[in-house]
Amino acid sequence: MNQLFANKPTENHNSLCAQMMSMGERELAALLSAVTELFGSEQARLSAEDWLQELAEINAVPGSVHAWRRITLLAISRLAQRVNGFRAVEWEQRAEAEADTKVLPIASSNCFGSTFLV
């Protein structure tokens, strides 16, 4: 009877590992499908290499969908740099520039009378 309970933690661990790996497989497959459709098989191959390199750099099996998605986003960032020639710094500078853009006051709808939105 003790032997039945002794195997439970290992079985649970293996089941959890299998679930995490399945998430990773689905994430990589979705990336490859999208990149192949949009940019062709060569970019998909390079993106798969980027994805696997990002996975190798964390030295662990990601434990959530969010963690797997982060790997995909890092691979997509590399794809964007290759395809568009953008650097991460350029993306940040553009985002900052857009955030600093001033919006001119525009008269609101008649719901607020003559107030202005800033």
Res. 111: pLDDT tops 50: no
Specify the pLDDT at position 5: 45
Cβ neighbours for 87, distance < 8 A, ≥ 6 positions apart: 81
Tell me phi and psi for residue 11, to 5 degrees.
-65, -45
Instruction: For residue 78, tell me if it sits in a domain.
Output: yes
Instruction: For residue 97, tell me if it sits in a domain.
Output: no
Cβ neighbours for 86, distance < 8 A, ≥ 6 positions apart: 80
Q: Which tens digit of pLDDT belongs to each residue from 37-85?
A: 999 999 999 999 999 999 999 888 888 889 999 999 999 999 999 988 7
Query: In terms of pTM, does the model score above 0.85?
Result: no
Q: Which of 53, 51, 60, 57 is nearest to 32 (CA)?
A: 51
Specify the pLDDT at position 10: 60
The structural domain count of the chain equals 1
Instruction: For residue 106, tell me if it sits in a domain.
Output: no
* Domain residue limits at 20: 11-91
Instruction: For residue 103, tell me if it sits in a domain.
Output: no
Specify the pLDDT at position 33: 97
Instruction: For residue 116, tell me if it sits in a domain.
Output: no
Res. 92: pLDDT tops 80: no
